[in-house]
Structure formats: structure tokens, C-alpha cells
């Protein structure tokens, strides 16, 4: 008869890591349990064998090779990584990702609630709807086959419910009011300073547009050819602040995106489109709200409230099917920079859903 | 030790090459061994360990004051290895016929005055075990490598993998039982022992 009574403790028993009473309890059990005695014997032999595996010596030239690589990749002037440049790169990457995540989420919301009349009045969802229609890849046809769930860690609910999402947005606006004000003031000043700069108005609305799930094609044409009224600029600025506040909220959470779909390729194309454009615009915001130097762009990025309290490391859990893994990683590496992403082991590589954790580090 | 590392990391972040060098020297053997156990190839391990250091130093600015440099560099090493293994699909290939492994066994043989018979047995045991480790699921393989081969404490593993100590322990126990099951028939043949013998200090 096979006994599993102490399976959760046997290897610790063998290593003498249990309390005295637990060790004694198992000692007593072993007297009458042949099955566990066999297991203990095998575990003991196994651990004894493993203990004979010792460290291997470093290759003789390891240290020299490493120093030489460091010299080449870290110290060479043209490749030296300047801290503030890293921040700008990182900040824009975070903005891109957050925007993409929200775009995807709202598309999902649209999909799951497209027949819900209560949502018809929701500007964000309406925008998502129009984006689906205008997407050149025909996202309206393919997105319904894609299911996305945005989960924000305990305490904030999930983005998959329109009710929760609406509540979350309300609370975000309230919670981050203080921070938003700073950004809005800065933004307003900048808007006033270059009132004739339509490009800036364009960048001001970028976050809100992208956030709302727009594919941006329409926005680019409109912003490039039509001057906006002061009221609309103000409204755009306000939208931008709201968006950035929401981004901030997202940045403060660990975001779990669970993508379970058979048609991810279409979603990738959609995100690709967003990523390229949003990235350009995120940098554009940085450059146009400040001066044209890198330092002031950096400063502007900092004042962009979404990034104001940026942490140095974020963990994003992505669950994606194996067949899309390489594509997904390539996309992320393009958006975040290869060196800013680390991949962790999947929880269970035997399942068809391959999970891996992506860590974005500065 | 932790404070010293943090100070070195801060200096390194400010471009102090000596600080870089000290951090490299301090952890390179462990980093290399971890990479070697993960990828099981001596040359690949060398490349991966270097890659881990390059990545770490490129992002040294993100090293947090409340972290331990060792934990951080090991985590980066694991991530570099995972990435490599995924790309090369070498998870289930394990071999001890590498120069390094042979080297250490021979070294061990001399330094411990092991008889040729025992050496053969030892080598065979290790071969069987390492082959079996290679067939484990990734998560379980990592646990055996980190705890039983590389000797990290439960607390260190928890920090490296960013999971709780309780989870670490239960995963390690499961991994050992799985490994034991895989080797069940062979273990008996390799080295049958009594319960008393196998208990450390028992």
C-alpha cells in the first residue's frame, strides 16, 4: 500500500530540518510504514548523490573576457548609458505599454459589452468603437475573437467589468487629483506658451486618444489639418491629465494581462500600430512641452504625472500561448528595449498556455 | 556584506570601475555555476554569465538600496538563462560530459583520495541524477539547482524568485519527490541505504 501521509515533509525529514517533535512523529510512523521507509531511503540516496555535485571552476579566461566585454559595451563612449537617457527611454516605454494595455482593455470592454446600452454614452467606449471601425487591419472583424482580461492586483477590481472599470476611473480621478493638478498646470502653461503650435495640441490629446483605444489614424489627420479652439484644447488637456492619472494608477499596480485567444496575431498588429504611434507621441510630448534639449525633455517627462512616481522595476505577468511567444517578445523588446526586459520561467511549460513573467527594469 | 555591496553598487552606478570589478569578482563563480547548471554547457554558461553581468551593469541604476546585490545578480542570471533556454529549447538536455564537470570530479577524486571504484560509482550516480534533473519540469529543476546543487538558503531562493519561503519549501519538496520517483529503480540499485544512514546526523 502506498502511503502519502508525510509526503510534504519527508525530504525535510531526511535533511533533519523538521522540529524535534515532527522528526519523532515520522520516526514512529516509519516503524510501521514500509512505503514511507522506501521513500525516505530513496530521498536520502538522492540527496546524498546531489551533495556530491560540486561547483565547476570558472573558465580561465572568464574574467578577462567579461572585463573586455564590459569595456566594449559599457565604457565605450558612444554606447555608455546615461542615466537620464535611460529614464526617457524607460518612461516612454512605460507610457507606450500602459497605453497599449488600456487600449486593449477598452477594446475588450467594447467587445464584451457592445450590446449594453448603458455603455453607449461612455465616451471612451464610443471611441474604442470608432477605432475598431477605422482600423486598417480590420480589427472589428478580428477583435471579437480575442479575449483580454486586465486584472489589477487585489483591491482594485478588474478591468473586464465595465462597472468596475467605470468605478476605477472615477476613483483614479479622485485619488490622483493632487498630482494631476501639477501636470495640468504645466501642460496649460506650455499650451499657452506655444499657442500656435498645432503639433503640441496634437501631442496633448495623444495620451487621451490612445488611452481611449483610438488607432490614431483619424487623430493624426485631424490634428494636422484643423486648428483647435482654445476650449477644445483645454478639454484635450483635461483628457490628457485624466489619462495620465489613470496611467499613474496603472503604474502603481502590478498588471496582470491574461491573453487567451486563438487569434492573437490580429491583436499584435493592432498593438504594433498603437505602439509605434504612441511611442512617437510620448516622446513628442516630452520634447514639445519642454525645450528641445534632452535635459528639459527629461524634466517634462518627469512632470508628466503618469511617470512622476515611477518605480525602478515593474513586474508584468503575461500569459500567452507558446506559438505567439516569440512574436510577443519581439514586440515587447521593440517597445521597451531588449535590455529592459527579463523573462522568467513559465509556471507550467507542459500546458498549452505558456506563462512567463516579464520584468521591466530601468 | 549587504551594506558593502550596496556601497559598491552605488559607486558602480556612478561609473566607478573598481567597484564594478569588485562586484564581478565577488559573484562571478556563483553566477557562472548557476548558469552552468541551468544550461549544462560550459561554453554557453560562460557566455550567459557574462551576459548577466552586462545586463546587470547596464541597469545598475535600478538596483534598489533595500535589495541585495547577490540576489539581484542571481535573478538576472536566471532570467538570462531562461531566455537562452527558450530560444534554444535545451531544457531537457543535460550532460555531465563537459570539461568542467569532468574537471571537478577528477579534482574531487584526488583531493578526497577516492578509490577508482568509488569514483566510478560516484560518477555514475551523478550522471543518473543529472540526467533525471534534466527531465524535470522547469520549475522543479530550478528548485533542485538552487537549493540542492547551488546551496542557496530558502530565504535566498524566495528573494531570487520573488516568492514566499513557504512556496519555496513546498516546491522543493515536490521537486525532490518527483526526482526520487524518476530515479526510484535506479536509486535502489545505486546505493541502497538504511533510514538511519540517510538522515544527516542520524
Interface contact A14-B33, CB threshold 8 A: no
ipTM reported for the complex, 2 dp: 0.78
CA dist A339 and A327 (Å) reads 17
CA dist A36 and A41 (Å) reads 8
Distance from CA of B150 to the nearest CA of A (A): 8
* Selection from A259, A265, A244, A270 nearest residue A358 by Cα: A259
DSSP state letters, B41-84? -HHHHHHHHHHHHHHHHHTGGG--TTS-HHHHHHHHHHHHHHHH
Any B CB within 8 A of A16 CB: yes
* Selection from B53, B12, B7, B57 nearest residue B34 by Cα: B53
Which pLDDT band holds residue A53 (cuts at 50, 70, 90)?
A: confident
User: Using a CB-CB distance cutoff of 8 angstroms, which residues of chain B are in contact with residue A333?
Assistant: none
Q: What is the pLDDT of residue B123?
A: 72
Distance from CA of B188 to the nearest CA of A (A): 7
* Selection from A344, A199, A345 nearest residue A280 by Cα: A199
Q: What is the pLDDT of residue A42?
A: 87
pLDDT at residue B7 above 70? Answer: yes
A window 271-330, beta carbon within 8 A of B = 312-313, 315, 325
Q: What is the pLDDT of residue A272?
A: 40
Between A83 and A297, the higher pLDDT residue: A83
pLDDT, average across residues B77-82: 90
- Give yes or no for a contact between A318 and A328, defined as CB atoms under 8 angstroms apart: yes
Any B CB within 8 A of A41 CB: yes
Which pLDDT band holds residue B27 (cuts at 50, 70, 90)?
A: very high
Candidates A16, A56, A325; nearest CB to B101? A56
- Give yes or no for a contact between B104 and A54, defined as CB atoms under 8 angstroms apart: yes
Phi then psi for A156, rounded to 5 degrees?
Answer: -120, 0
Q: What is the pLDDT of residue B21?
A: 86
- Give yes or no for a contact between A63 and B26, defined as CB atoms under 8 angstroms apart: no
Which triple of cell numbers denotes residue B202?
542520524
pLDDT at residue A215 above 80? Answer: no
Which triple of cell numbers denotes residue A269?
498588429
Return the residue matching grid coordinates 516546491: B171
- Give yes or no for a contact between A282 and A96, defined as CB atoms under 8 angstroms apart: yes
pLDDT, average across residues B116-130: 70
Any B CB within 8 A of A127 CB: no
**What is the four-CA torsion angle of A103, A107, A113, A117, rounded to 10 degrees?**
80
HSE (side-chain half, CA atoms, 13 Å) at B111: 7
pLDDT, average across residues B93-115: 42
Return the residue matching grid coordinates 516568492: B163
CB-based contacts of B188, cutoff 8 Å, min separation 6: A41, A42, A45
The per-residue pLDDT for range B34-53, each reduced to its tens digit, is 999 998 888 899 999 999 99
Q: Give the helix ranges, DSSP H, for B112-164.
A: 116-135, 138-143, 154-161
Any A CB within 8 A of B62 CB: yes
The per-residue pLDDT for range A335-360, each reduced to its tens digit, is 556 666 566 544 443 334 444 444 44
- Give yes or no for a contact between A341 and A360, defined as CB atoms under 8 angstroms apart: yes
Any A CB within 8 A of B180 CB: yes
The per-residue pLDDT for range B151-178, each reduced to its tens digit, is 999 999 998 888 899 999 999 999 999 9
Q: What is the pLDDT of residue A330?
A: 66
A window 147-166, beta carbon within 8 A of B = none
Any A CB within 8 A of B151 CB: no
- Provide the 10 A C-beta neighbour count for residue B151: 11
Interface contact A349-B91, CB threshold 8 A: yes
DSSP A120: G
CA dist B124 and B120 (Å) reads 6
Q: Which of B15, B57, B86, B175 to mutate to test the interface with A (most CBs of A within 10 A)?
A: B86
Which pLDDT band holds residue B31 (cuts at 50, 70, 90)?
A: very high
**What is the four-CA torsion angle of A356, A361, B5, B9, rounded to 10 degrees?**
150
DSSP H or E run through A357: strand A353-361
Compare all CA atoms of chain B with the CA of A84 and give the residue at the minimum distance: B61
- Provide the 10 A C-beta neighbour count for residue A268: 17
Angle at A129 between CA A115 and CA A267, to 5 degrees: 105
Q: How far from chain centre, in Å, is Cα B126?
A: 15
Q: Which of A31, A38, A48, A49 to mutate to test the interface with B (most CBs of B within 10 A)?
A: A49
* Selection from B43, B72, B100, B64 nearest residue B160 by Cα: B72
Which triple of cell numbers denotes residue A311?
518605480
CA dist A104 and A106 (Å) reads 5
CA dist B79 and A125 (Å) reads 38
Distance from CA of B90 to the nearest CA of A (A): 13
Task: Supply the mean pLDDT for chain A.
Answer: 49
Which triple of cell numbers denotes residue A206?
495623444
Q: What is the pLDDT of residue A343?
A: 62
Q: Which range has the worst mean pLDDT, A41-45, A238-242, B21-25, B29-33?
A: A238-242
User: pTM for the whole thing?
Assistant: 0.48
> For chain B, how big is the Rg over CA atoms in Å?
19
- Give yes or no for a contact between B141 and B178, defined as CB atoms under 8 angstroms apart: no
Candidates B53, B137, B193; nearest CB to A66? B53
The per-residue pLDDT for range A10-39, each reduced to its tens digit, is 999 998 899 999 999 999 999 999 989 988
Farthest-apart Cα atoms in chain B, separation: 57
User: Using a CB-CB distance cutoff of 8 angstroms, which residues of chain B are in contact with residue A84?
Assistant: none
Amino acid at each position: 500500500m502506498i502511503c502519502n501521509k508525510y509526503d510534504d515533509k519527508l525530504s525535510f525529514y531526511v535533511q533533519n530540518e523538521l522540529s524535534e517533535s515532527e522528526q519523532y512523529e515520522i520516526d514512529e510512523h516509519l516503524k510501521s510504514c514500509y512505503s514511507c521507509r522506501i521513500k525516505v531511503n530513496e530521498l536520502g540516496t538522492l540527496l546524498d548523490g546531489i551533495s556530491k555535485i560540486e561547483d565547476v571552476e570558472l573558465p580561465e579566461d572568464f574574467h578577462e573576457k567579461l572585463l573586455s566585454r564590459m569595456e566594449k559595451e559599457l565604457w565605450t563612449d558612444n554606447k555608455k548609458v546615461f542615466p537620464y537617457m535611460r529614464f526617457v527611454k524607460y518612461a516612454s516605454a512605460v507610457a507606450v505599454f500602459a497605453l497599449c494595455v488600456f487600449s486593449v482593455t477598452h477594446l475588450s470592454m467594447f467587445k464584451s459589452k457592445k450590446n449594453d446600452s448603458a455603455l453607449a454614452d461612455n465616451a471612451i467606449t464610443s471611441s474604442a468603437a470608432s477605432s475598431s471601425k477605422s482600423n486598417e487591419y480590420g480589427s472589428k472583424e478580428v477583435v471579437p475573437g480575442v479575449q483580454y482580461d486586465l486584472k489589477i492586483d487585489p483591491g482594485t477590481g478588474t478591468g473586464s467589468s465595465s462597472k468596475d472599470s467605470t468605478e476605477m476611473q472615477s476613483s483614479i480621478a479622485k485619488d490622483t487629483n493632487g498630482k494631476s493638478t501639477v501636470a495640468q498646470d504645466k501642460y496649460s502653461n506650455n499650451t499657452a506658451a506655444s499657442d500656435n503650435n498645432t503639433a503640441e495640441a496634437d501631442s496633448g490629446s495623444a495620451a487621451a486618444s490612445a488611452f481611449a483605444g483610438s488607432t490614431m489614424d483619424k487623430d493624426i489627420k485631424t490634428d494636422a489639418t484643423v486648428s483647435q479652439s482654445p476650449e477644445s484644447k483645454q478639454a484635450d488637456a483635461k483628457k490628457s491629465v485624466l489619462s495620465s492619472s489613470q496611467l499613474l494608477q496603472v503604474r502603481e499596480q502590478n498588471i496582470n494581462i491574461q491573453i487567451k485567444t486563438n487569434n492573437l496575431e490580429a491583436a499584435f498588429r493592432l498593438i504594433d500600430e498603437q505602439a509605434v504611434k504612441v511611442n512617437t507621441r510620448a516622446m513628442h510630448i516630452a520634447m514639445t512641452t519642454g525645450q528641445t534639449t534632452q535635459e528639459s525633455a527629461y524634466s517634462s517627462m518627469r512632470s508628466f504625472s503618469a511617470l512622476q512616481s515611477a518605480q525602478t522595476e515593474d513586474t508584468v505577468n503575461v500569459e500567452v500561448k507558446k506559438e505567439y511567444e516569440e512574436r510577443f517578445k519581439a514586440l515587447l523588446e521593440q517597445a521597451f528595449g531588449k535590455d529592459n526586459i527579463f523573462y522568467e520561467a513559465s509556471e507550467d511549460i507542459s500546458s498549452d498556455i505558456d506563462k512567463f513573467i516579464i520584468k521591466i527594469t530601468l | 556584506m549587504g551594506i558593502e555591496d550596496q556601497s559598491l553598487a552605488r559607486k558602480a552606478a556612478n561609473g566607478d570601475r573598481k567597484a564594478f570589478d569588485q562586484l564581478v569578482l565577488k559573484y562571478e563563480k556563483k553566477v557562472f555555476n548557476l548558469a552552468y547548471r541551468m544550461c549544462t554547457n560550459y561554453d554557453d554558461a560562460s557566455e550567459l554569465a557574462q551576459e548577466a553581468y552586462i545586463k546587470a551593469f547596464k541597469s545598475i541604476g535600478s538596483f534598489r538600496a533595500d535589495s541585495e546585490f547577490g540576489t539581484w545578480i542571481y535573478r538576472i542570471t536566471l532570467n538570462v538563462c531562461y531566455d537562452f533556454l527558450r530560444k534554444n529549447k535545451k531544457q531537457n538536455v543535460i550532460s555531465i560530459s563537459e570539461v568542467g564537470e569532468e574537471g571537478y570530479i577528477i579534482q574531487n577524486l584526488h583531493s578526497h583520495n577516492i578509490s577508482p571504484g568509488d569514483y566510478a560509482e560516484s560518477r555514475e550516480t551523478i550522471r543518473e541524477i543529472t540526467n533525471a534533473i534534466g527531465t524535470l519540469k522547469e520549475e522543479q529543476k530550478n528548485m533542485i539547482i538552487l537549493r540542492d546543487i547551488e546551496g542557496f538558503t530558502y530565504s535566498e531562493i524566495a528573494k531570487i524568485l520573488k516568492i514566499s519561503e513557504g512556496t519555496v519549501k513546498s516546491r522543493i519538496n515536490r521537486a525532490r519527490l518527483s526526482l526520487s520517483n524518476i530515479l526510484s529503480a535506479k536509486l535502489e540499485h545505486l546505493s541502497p541505504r538504511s533510514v538511519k544512514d540517510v538522515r544527516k546526523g542520524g
